[in-house]
Every structure is written in structure tokens, then in C-alpha cells.
Amino acid sequence: MNKILIQGNHVIGEAAIRAGCRFYAGYPITPQNELTEYMAENIRKVEGGTFIQAESEIAAINMILGASAAGARAMTSSSSPGISLKQEGISSMAADELPGVIVNIMRGGPGLGNILPSQGDYYQATRGGGHGDYRTIVLAPDSVQELADLTMDAFDLADKYRNPVLILADGMIGQMMEPVVFGEPRPRKYDESYVLKGAGKGRSRFIRGLILDALKMEEHNWKLHRKYQAIEQREKRCEISRTEDADLLIIAYGTAARIAKGAIKRSREAGMKVGLIRPITLWPFPDHVIREFSDKVENFLVFEMNTGQMLDDVKLALNGRGHVHFYGRPGGVVPTPVELAKVIAHHYNNNRSLDED
């Protein structure tokens, strides 16, 4: 076993290289700088590996677009306001049907905010923060081990669907160190017929997202829409824990889910039947799992490190069934399991809906 103790930001870089990433472009921003530093030192040690510190976040995402069009497995990373600057490029990659991995180690916001852990970018990630009708697959790890696993999965999913994939973590997971076992290297195995390798004596080949004819643009959008529907049918992921007898279900992702697990343990020890649903794909959102539990559970508590963003998707999944409560801490405040356990006890004992709180 190749188990090593490694920091979250570093593990993304190592997993990406093992997944066949051979092009990285980024621009410094806290709290993800260790990832950029790791790629600067290590990607050039493998054959064909290229690192570029771009002049801006906008330049970095467009370098990824170009590298992907040339056939490289490519990745960029940033933190919240830096990801905002990349949105036009991400939209262009989706329009061009180019694979690529984008890492967002979230920080407090809005604006420049602060460098503390937050989950304030859920809307941006899951709604396609750029313009037009497009989606990105969004993966939300809750541990350093899962960072390793999902980073490798991200490159496969990007290639499989020829679409950008976003890894959404936060400063706490990016900075913490945990033991990790890396999976086996994964060479690319999907169709590369789109790659621009030169036409030789044939017709010129190109990739474009600029489609001036309205009907052709509409046809392209429906094609993309069908792809997103296929992703929704095939790629939903979540973890369920201690749900078999639960009277109250916590719904949380990422760092919030780690905190929730500690709070649930305390609540169980106090005699409360509490379980967890942890979305791993934030898009496509595992709404079917939440909907199925609404047949036997009346109360749901959405817990996020923001003012309530995934809350909207939970309400859509339940479609008026059950009572939905919310607890959040925005702007970089990281609550403790003890704090959340008190909130759970309040809702468990009072059994009231959000409107009554």
C-alpha cells in the first residue's frame, strides 16, 4: 500500500499527475497556493508535463482550453474570486465540448472576502457561473482521501462527457493533512477524435463556440442539453449514514458533512435518531435519494457553511413534503460538532418546520 500523510492541496496535484494530467496553468490565491506550488515542482518531472504560472486567472483558464483542444489532460485551480474570473472560459469549454478539471478551494466571500473556509460558491458551481445553457459536473469531497479519489474520477468524467468538471472543496480540506492511499494510474481511454493534431493535406479542422446562425446555435444547445440529461441519469452520487431508523436527516456536503458526522454521533449518544445524507455530486444533485426518504422521514435539517444555497435544491427535491430546517454559518466561520449537536437537539425536540422557527 502506498499510504502517505499528505496535505489536501498537495493530494490534488499528486492525484492529477497520477491520473495523467500533463498540463497545469494557475495563478496564486490563498488558500490553494500549495496546489500551484506542488504542480510547479512535480508535473515537470513526468514526460510531457507542463506547468505555467499564468499572468491572470483569465489567462489560466484559456490556456487549459487550448491544451485540452490539443489533446492534453489539463487542470487549473483557484479560490472563489479567482474562479469568478474563469467563468467565461469555463462556459467556452462547455460550448466547445472540451474536457478539463477546475479546482475551487473555497474561501469566505462575497467579493475578496477572506481566506477562511466557506461554502459560499455552491450557486456559482452548480448553476454554471458563466453565461448560456451549460452545466459542469461538480464533485464535493469531505476528506483528503476523497480528494484523491475524486480528482482521479474528475479526469475520467471530463473525458467521458467532453465537459468541464469542477472539484468544489474549501480551505479546511485543502489545508488539512490525512493519510491517503492513491489509486492506480489511469491513462486516457476515451475517444480523441475531436483533438486538433493538424490536418496535414486534408481540410482545416477547428473547434468553435461562436455559432452565428441562430438555428444552428439552438441545435447545438439541444445537443448539449441531451448530454446533461444523460449525466443526470448516470452520475448522481451520495453517501447515506445511519438512516435506517432516523427521525431527522441532516443534509450536508464537504466540510459541513464532516462536522455533521461528529454532531450525529453526539446526538445518537443522547438518544436521538439522526442520520445523514451527503451529496458527493452537487451537480447532478442526488435529489432522488432525498425524495425517497421523504416517504418515511418527516424532518430534514440542511447544514451549510453559507446562508442557505444547497437548501434550494433540497426543497426542490422534496417538493413540499416534510419539514425543512436550516442552519448555516457564512463568511468563514467553521462551527463545531458540539454547536451543531445543540441545533439538532432543538429541532429534534421541537419538531417544527422552517416557517415556525
CATH number of the domain within which 272 lies: 3.40.50.920
Question: Are 214 and 303 within one domain?
Answer: no
Question: Are 162 and 189 within one domain?
Answer: yes
User: Can you give the pLDDT at residue 190?
Assistant: 81
CA dist 269 to 27, 263, 303, Å?
46, 10, 20
Question: Are 70 and 209 within one domain?
Answer: yes
* Domain edge (last residue) among 234, 253, 279: 234
User: Can you give the pLDDT at residue 197?
Assistant: 82
- 79 within 8 A of 122, measured Cβ to Cβ: no
For the entire predicted model, the pTM comes to 0.95
* Domain edge (last residue) among 234, 253, 284: 234
Question: Are 224 and 266 within one domain?
Answer: no
Query: Could you write out the DSSP letters of every residue in 182-206?
Result: PPPP----S--TT-----TTS----
Question: Are 17 and 153 within one domain?
Answer: yes
C-alpha cell at 194: 475531436
Range of the domain at 21: 3-234
User: Can you give the pLDDT at residue 355?
Assistant: 39
Per-residue pLDDT tens listing for the chain (357 residues): 579 999 999 999 999 999 999 999 999 999 999 999 999 999 999 999 999 999 999 999 999 999 999 999 999 999 999 999 999 999 999 999 999 999 999 999 999 999 999 999 999 999 988 999 999 999 999 999 999 999 999 999 999 999 999 999 999 999 999 999 998 888 788 888 889 987 677 677 789 899 999 999 999 999 999 999 999 999 999 999 999 999 999 999 999 999 999 999 999 999 999 999 999 999 999 999 999 999 999 999 999 999 999 999 999 999 999 999 999 999 999 999 999 999 999 999 887 443 344
Question: Are 221 and 342 within one domain?
Answer: no
Question: Are 78 and 111 within one domain?
Answer: yes
Question: Are 131 and 42 within one domain?
Answer: yes
User: Can you give the pLDDT at residue 2?
Assistant: 77
Q: Give the three-class secondary structure for 66.
A: helix
- 65 within 8 A of 130, measured Cβ to Cβ: no
> Do β-strands 23-26 and 50-53 pair in parallel, antiparallel, or remain unpaired?
parallel
Number of domains within the chain: 2
Question: Are 223 and 315 within one domain?
Answer: no
- 290 within 8 A of 246, measured Cβ to Cβ: no
* Domain edge (last residue) among 199, 215, 234: 234
The CATH number of the domain holding residue 17 is 3.40.50.970
User: Can you give the pLDDT at residue 225?
Assistant: 98
User: Can you give the pLDDT at residue 1?
Assistant: 56
Q: Around Cβ 352, how many Cβ atoms within 10 Å?
A: 13
Question: Are 258 and 223 within one domain?
Answer: no
User: Can you give the pLDDT at residue 84?
Assistant: 97
Question: Are 109 and 224 within one domain?
Answer: yes
Angle between helical axes of 144-161 and 8-18 (0-180°, round to 10): 40
Question: Are 258 and 118 within one domain?
Answer: no
User: Can you give the pLDDT at residue 94?
Assistant: 98
User: Can you give the pLDDT at residue 188?
Assistant: 83
What is the rounded radius of gyration, in angstroms, for the C-alpha atoms of the chain? 21
User: Can you give the pLDDT at residue 350?
Assistant: 84
Q: Give 324's strand partners.
A: 300
- 239 within 8 A of 280, measured Cβ to Cβ: yes
User: Can you give the pLDDT at residue 357?
Assistant: 41
User: Can you give the pLDDT at residue 352?
Assistant: 44
